[in-house]
Structure 1
Amino acid sequence: METIMKTFSDFQENIDYEQNTRELIKNTTKEIEENTRKIITFLQIIHQEGASNQILATCEKCKLVLHDIKLRYADLRQQVEPGFYYKYYDHWKLVTQKLCFVITLINYFETGSLKLREDVASTLGLAINEKDGFHLSIEDYLFGLLMLVSELTRFAVNAVTNGDYVKPIQISHFVAEMNAGFRLLSLKNDTLRKRYDTLKYDVKKIEEIVYDLSIRGLKPLEKYNS
């Protein structure tokens, strides 16, 4: 009888530990999600008419929030025991993908180039190799890039509406390169493969914008780098 009671007492300790761990992870992830929503709200300024001179200042404001998010990921690393990353992965998977999107979007407006996975991981304080524990997976990074392309496509449409005919050309070059890169991949993740299908529509939309500018005589003659 005593052995049975001890066994079930140990079970309860494990159950309590698991529940406490999940609660800690849930609360930390909630903070990350709230800060991520704050950044996305800040970045909506890019679609407003006459706000182009505010974009870089907004990016700086976003990076302050990203610093706090990096600290929260450090908390998650402490809360998740080595070897249990994928046990709790679903808690932070989606928000990590969104963060890959906002970080690469901020970088695009600052440099006009793609922020590599290693640099995105560094911004969040994450490793890039699975063996190192808490890391940024390739798939999460790719999801973020697909969101980036969709947002830039939306930005290109609004730029034309606001009378800016240069940025859509720049974005068209960037999106074309992204599309060429994704074409090199053989995607095994069903969800990622389905999400990749939206890239085809984004590419088509960008091409239509550039074509429309061309036939209306509004396409800039100068060569602009993406």
Structure 2
Amino acid sequence: MASVEAGITSVFSDFQKYLTADQELGEQIRVCVRDIEQKSREIHTQLQQVHQIQNIKNTPALCARMKPEFTTIAEDMKKLAAIIPPNQYYRFHDHWKTVMQKLSFLTAFIKYLEKEELNTREEAAKMVGVYTNREEGFHMDLDDYLHGLLQLASEQLSRLAVNSVTAGDYGRPLRIAKFIAELDAGFRLLNLKNDSLRKRFDVLKYDLKKVEEVVYDLTIRGLKPAEQMEEESK
């Protein structure tokens, strides 16, 4: 009987060792993610300056200041990747998926401010210091990348369209409307499940509507740039 009790105790003792090691790993992950979250918040705060009237027409300088900040984030990502056991990325994914989505959004925002173009998943992953595909290792999950693009439209571009009018930049809202319309068309090509990404995408049509209302207001007030009207007439 004693030997049976000793055997059971030994089994549960092994379980406890496993749980303790798992908890310690979880804490290490949280510390790494917390550092990345703090740096991403700082970048986000700085990028908010684009909405100030004096900065709306000088976005390249703001982006140039922010891009080097991603170097330290890439270093932190490498530290995080180093502590994740092989083939256990998705087991711990919930720890960093929110900050990864935010980083996807921030890289997309910078790319848009610089060139008014869509940031690819490859560009976003490279800037953050991770891989693109799971086969390569620690990567930017496709859903996280797509969430970031939707955040770009809902959190920044619709607001930027309004503030651009205030700053006297009447051409930007039209370009933003075109960009969001193309983004909406792109998402409609995807067979999204009824999950958080689908729900976030459903909001995109309202973001587009907000910007289209700004464009409509410019049109009826006769403030639409002449070159834009010429382009539409062709």
Provide the TM-score with structure 1 as the length reference.
0.93
Secondary structure of the equivalent of 2:135? helix
Aligned counterpart, 1:55: 59
Aligned counterpart, 1:125: 129
Aligned ranges for residues 108-123 of structure 1 at < 5 Å?
108-123=112-127
1: CA distance, partners of 2:207 / 2:177: 10
Aligned ranges for residues 174-189 of structure 1 at < 5 Å?
174-189=179-194
For these two proteins, the number of residue pairs brought into alignment is 225
Q: Please, which runs of 5 or more residues in structure 1 have no aligned partner?
A: none
Secondary structure of the equivalent of 2:193? coil
Aligned counterpart, 2:195: 190
User: Larger C-alpha radius of gyration, 1 or 2?
Assistant: 2
Residue type matched to 1:173 in 2? Answer: K
Aligned ranges for residues 1-226 of structure 1 at < 5 Å?
1=3, 2-150=6-154, 151-223=156-228
| 1:126 CA drift (Å) | 1.6
1: CA distance, partners of 2:198 / 2:7: 52
2: CA distance, partners of 1:52 / 1:13: 56
2: CA distance, partners of 1:54 / 1:16: 52
Q: Please, which runs of 5 or more residues in structure 2 have no aligned partner?
A: none
Deviates more, 1:119-128 or 1:9-18: 9-18
Deviates more, 1:77-86 or 1:180-189: 180-189
| 1:79 CA drift (Å) | 0.9
Residue type matched to 2:87 in 1? Answer: G
The alignment's C-alpha RMSD in Å is 1.8
| 1:206 CA drift (Å) | 1.2
Note the alpha carbon deviations across 1:139-192, whole angstroms, 9 max, x for none: 111110011112111110111122210111121121111111111111115111
| 1:4 CA drift (Å) | 4.0
2: CA distance, partners of 1:6 / 1:58: 60
Secondary structure of the equivalent of 1:127? coil
